[in-house]
A and B are shown apart, each in its own frame.
Chain A
Amino acid sequence: MRAKLKIWRGAAGEPGRFEHYEVAFEPGQTVLDGLRWIRVHLDPSLAIRFSCINANACKECMIRVDGKTVYACTTRLAQGDMTLEPLPNKKLIRDLVTEIAPPDERLP
């Protein structure tokens, strides 16, 4: 099975753009699996924040998939097109990474 991922790329203050990637997957694999695969095989500059990988413990991989806010680690890859974007209501850092830390835990 193949997923066609349309991923928003760019940093704060830059005009962003969508880039397209094709990811082969087995049923059950997640959007985070797909993003990790892209980083290893196609483009290590793609930024995505995560820590626990797929235990859904760290809550760091929150992004928008097809307009819905989800955890990348528990959302399954699907055959066909999927659009991945950073959270719209958080400050953009780069690509799919936004500022999600509580204000009092940021660098002063």
Chain B
Amino acid sequence: MLQADVLVIGSGGAGMYAAIAAARAGARVLLVDRSLIGRGGATVMAQMTVAVAVGEEEPDHWQHHLADTLKAGRGLCDAELSQLLCEQGPACIREMDEWGIGWARRDGHLAQVHAPGHDRKRCVYVDFLNTGPAVSKTLRARVQRIAQVQRVGDLLVTDLAIRDGVCTGAQAIHVSTGAAIPIAAKATIVATGGLTRLYARNSASLNMGGDGYALALRAGAELIDMEFVQFFPIGHLAPRLVGMDPIMWDPFRYKLGGRLLNAEKREFLPEGGRYVAARDLATYAILQEVAAGRGSPHGGAWLSFQHCAEPVLRAAFGPVIDRLAANGIDLTRQPIEVAPIAHYHMGGIRVDPDMRTGVPHLFAAGEAVGGANGANRLSGNAITEAFTFGRRAGERAAALAARIAMPEPLDHGCRRRGKTHFNPAAEIVSLQALMNTHVGPLRTRAGLEKALQDIMALAPLCAELPAPNEGLDAAWIDLHDLRNLRLVAECVARAALLREESRGAHQREDFGDTSEAWRKHQTIRLAGVELQLAS
């Protein structure tokens, strides 16, 4: 059995920041992750910039950042959460600076660049393709130095422990041995990230399968805005590229513009070689070209940097050009193919500005939280959200833990071992294809109904989770993931079907207009095995 004042589930940016903040407030913290500490999840893969109104490149104020965030959110942001992100962002960025992250500097001040959707140069970075790894490394080093933070990787939380409606910790499986490990905690923070693994085309790591949403639902918490999945418009599609994150073309576009072309090699967005189109609009435009038969051979668009001479490319991206060459890609001679890929989830667990969920003693942080980014996330807000929400959750969880007694560990009893008569890895691949086709960036009633039918047909296969076999049980991990993915897929599809309008990342071909009547949230909770939606 494990025990802590504050249990943090997930060790990306939000989880590690939460652990640091909780320990600083006097709590004994247990930081767990199904993967290695600080290496799985989304943060380590972030290659981009971090939006924050530090005003070093030009005068700025968090209220300007907030205005841009609300505008990008298409009228659907939870303004209190957005404000927390924008107002507390600068303090976190400076704290990361003190911890030695090494934000890029110019003439003695933090370098800030202009990203789409921002009204000024606001985005800090470490190195264009290295910001996420630097964030992870800095937080890992910080966490390692704090004696009150116990770190345990390879530990998969399968359910939260709920006694009389209150969260008292969690139930976990030690992945390598299959041993059941109960965890008792005064306060618990879910920081497991989003759900982008639901889609065949994604930029996700393996553990972005909506675990936190499923945990929260089964614990009795409410989810919000689940229909809003951000597709990153220019994910790498072809030729095959390895050793690099599929969203890597974004920094190229920041620095060099680049031309987005259809099969006729014609620009179809009014960009004129610059990088200005917001993510939802660019995604929509590319898929419209594909639907009209003007897509690239693999079903996306061409992205060309052929107007840039080799020295220009090399000056901008030096060693990256060599990594592309190793993949057989020469940008001076060929365009590459890009397509929208699932990148971030705006929806998530419903919290108040103290990061408290609807279940007492249960908090959430980072991408697992819904609401701060409305119907469309502003570029650069994800890492800021991880920092600010993580810090807030850690502080509030520690304050709660200081006031209450340690709960008794909850005995979940023995689950029976079950033999699985199907291949759960194959079912996950089918579900990902289904979601990409029917619950992706372009949606219709017919498609969503078809998706729901298939999602419901999958339910009997993964309604219950048996105990794993001893030793690492690889198929059991897939079954666990399938169970959570299916539940979360149902949330996205049901919410998308009900929302009869188009707004931000939710685009209905049968309801193309944004409707004022729909300027409201949908929430979801689980009653027995049934999802209940409300708006």
Contacts and interface: CB of A to CB of B under 8 A. Distances in A.
Interface in A3-35: 11-12, 26-30
A79 to B, nearest CB: 16
Nearest to A50: B206
B152 A58 contact: no
Contacts of A52: 40, 44-45, 205-206, 245
A60 B175 CA distance: 14
B426 interface: yes
Given A29-B240, A44-B478, A58-B205, A39 B245 contact: no
B67 interface: no
B402 to A, nearest CB: 25
B242 interface: yes
B239 interface: yes
B474 A51 contact: no
Interface string A94-108: 110101110011111
A45 interface: yes
B327 A51 contact: no
Nearest to A12: B471
Contacts of A78: none
Contact of A93 (B151, B153, B471): B471
A54 B176 CA distance: 22
Contacts of B204: 53
Contacts of A99: 176
A12 B470 CA distance: 11
Given A28-B239, A57-B45, A58-B44, A101 B36 contact: yes
A58 to B, nearest CB: 5
Contacts of A84: none
Nearest to A91: B176
Interface string B170-184: 000010100101000
A26 B193 CA distance: 32
Given A107-B155, A107-B174, A60 B35 contact: yes
Contacts of B475: 44-45
B37 interface: yes
B243 A94 contact: no
Given A44-B426, A55-B245, A58-B40, A104 B474 contact: no
A105 B239 contact: no
A105 B152 contact: yes
Query: How many interface residues does chain B have, given as a range?
Result: 35 or more
A51 B207 CA distance: 7
Contacts of A87: none
Contacts of B37: 101, 105
Given A44-B425, A60-B36, A101 B154 contact: yes
Contacts of A73: 242-243
B152 A57 contact: no
B39 A59 contact: yes
Interface string B226-259: 0000000000000111111110000000000000
A83 interface: no
B206 A39 contact: no
Interface string B7-40: 0000000000000000000000000000111011
A40 B481 CA distance: 14
B327 to A, nearest CB: 7
A8 to B, nearest CB: 14
A69 interface: no
Interface in B458-510: 471-475, 478
A55 B475 CA distance: 24
A39 B340 CA distance: 26
B112 to A, nearest CB: 25
Contacts of B205: 51-53, 55, 57-58
Task: Give the one of A11, A48, A105 with max B CB within 10 A.
Answer: A105
B472 A40 contact: no
A46 interface: yes
Most buried by A among B243, B245, B473, B475: B243
B152 to A, nearest CB: 6
Interface in B193-247: 204-207, 239-246
Contacts of A41: 426
A75 to B, nearest CB: 9
Given A51-B205, A97-B472, A58 B423 contact: no
Nearest to B469: A45
22 contacts: A28-B327, A28-B328, A40-B423, A44-B475, A44-B478, A46-B474, A47-B474, A51-B36, A51-B39, A52-B44, A53-B204, A54-B243, A55-B243, A55-B245, A55-B246, A56-B242, A57-B245, A74-B243, A94-B474, A95-B474, A101-B37, A106-B154
Interface of B: 35-37, 39-41, 44-45, 132-133, 144, 151-155, 174, 176, 179, 181, 204-207, 239-246, 327-328, 423-426, 429, 471-475, 478
Given A40-B429, A56-B242, A60-B39, 9 more contacts: A11-B471, A28-B327, A51-B206, A57-B39, A60-B35, A60-B40, A100-B36, A106-B152, A107-B155
